[in-house]
Amino acid sequence: DQQVKQNSPSLSVQEGRISILNCDYTNSMFDYFLWYKKYPAEGPTFLISISSIKDKNEDGRFTVFLNKSAKHLSLHIVPSQPGDSAVYFCAASGGGTGANNLFFGTGTRLTVIP
């Protein structure tokens, strides 16, 4: 049962515009959320995270928004650059779940068109 879902397998955005990647989760015990970026033939690279006590975290061009009532988070990249083209994975963790691992979505492939 997929507890973290990324329903858009791909997204194309023009360079300079905003990219919005979405993620939904089902387990209300998750208390920490992360975004990873993955280039081909490389492992996922940590990008940004947010604790469930916050609703927004910003780091440069990247902002993550968390809506706990909707069990939804999103990653905004602005302005988008061609180097941002990669697969983005949403992940969640939670001590309350009793699990030691991160739960990952299936990823969204972002293509930024020059």
Burial class (CB in 10 A: 0-12, 13-18, 19+), 76: middle
Q: Is 97 helix (H, G, I), strand (E, B) or coil?
A: helix
CB of 96 to other proteins, least distance (A): 10
Question: With binding defined as CB under 8 A, does residue 107 bind other proteins?
Answer: yes
C-alpha separations of 54 from 32, 36, 59, 101 in Å: 10, 19, 14, 22
User: Binding segment for other proteins among 15-23, 57-65, 67-75, 97-105 (CB under 8 A)?
Assistant: 97-105
The residue range among 20-28, 59-67, 68-76, 96-104 that interacts with other proteins, by the rule CB under 8 A, is 96-104
| Interface map 62-81 toward other proteins (x if CB under 8 A) | --------------------
- List 4, 21, 77, 112, residue binding other proteins (CB under 8 A): 4
CB of 21 to other proteins, least distance (A): 14
